[in-house]
Amino acid sequence: MADTTCHMSISLDGFVAGPDQSRDDPLGKGGRDVHTWHLGDPRATEADEIAAGWLMRPRGAYVMGRNMFGPIRGDWDEDWRGWWGPEPPYHAPVFVLTHHAHEPLEMEGGTTFHFVTDGFDAAYAQARDTAGDDGVDIAGGASTVRQALAAGVIDEFTLDIAPVLLGSGERIFDGIETFAMEPVEVLHSPLATHIRYRRTS
């Protein structure tokens, strides 16, 4: 059975996005500083390049939350097509959790966004059926990752811990009571410590 993975960048105080997320500031105030290790910072090292390879490895399908897909809340009242331009980086089906039905959105490069209204378990099941041997990635954001952790479906979980304090924002571990994983690889640079965990049970 193919692995389910998740790869998230996080601040030292546990936030994956800063406060006051908006269309102009999708990662919240200060949130971009958590991601500089893969966004062209000249201080990036070989460790960051290796971790970026983990992040961008092809997967058979993805699950993400609506907040990660875009800033629109409530009914779909405009033609939003994601943050990534006409060719998103997924190149595979992406199952988006939402409370509001939406027709599938086919993009360039093989990405199609499918909008799932009946919860995480349903979206994950569809992703597993679609991905086959190529595996599923839980792409984010915080709420979706929490649901995946609570469901116990993540086999490999990578955290890029940036030496940044955000103070507030979106956490991924709130309400998670156990973390049955152990570190199997650690890389570091001035920009982040990259820890790859594997499920222990």
- pLDDT the model gives residue 73: 82
Q: What is the mean pLDDT of residues 11-17?
A: 95
Which pairs from 17-25 meet CB under 8 Å and 24+ separation?
17/141, 17/142, 17/169, 17/170, 18/166, 18/167, 18/168, 18/169, 19/166, 19/167, 19/168, 19/169, 21/67, 21/71, 21/169, 21/170, 22/71, 23/71
**Could you write out the DSSP letters of every residue in 168-191?**
SSEESSTT-----EEEEEEEE-SS
Would the pLDDT of 30 be above 80?
yes
> Reduced to 3 DSSP states, what percent helix, strand and coil does the chain have, rounded to the nearest 5?
25, 30, 45
pLDDT digits (tens, 9 = 90+) for 142-189: 999 999 999 999 999 999 999 999 999 999 999 999 899 999 999 999
More confident residue, 82 or 197: 197
pTM for the structure as a whole: 0.94
Question: Residue 78 — very low, low, confident or very high, per pLDDT cuts 50/70/90?
Answer: confident
Cα-based distances in Å from 25 to 14, 18, 19, 162:
19, 9, 10, 19
Q: What is the mean pLDDT of residues 88-94?
A: 97
Delineate the domains of the chain, giving CATH numbers in brackets. Answer: 14-70+87-178 (3.40.430.10)
pLDDT digits (tens, 9 = 90+) for 62-73: 999 998 998 888
Does the N-terminal peptide bond of residue 110 adopt cis geometry, omega within 30 degrees of 0?
no
Would the pLDDT of 1 be above 60?
no
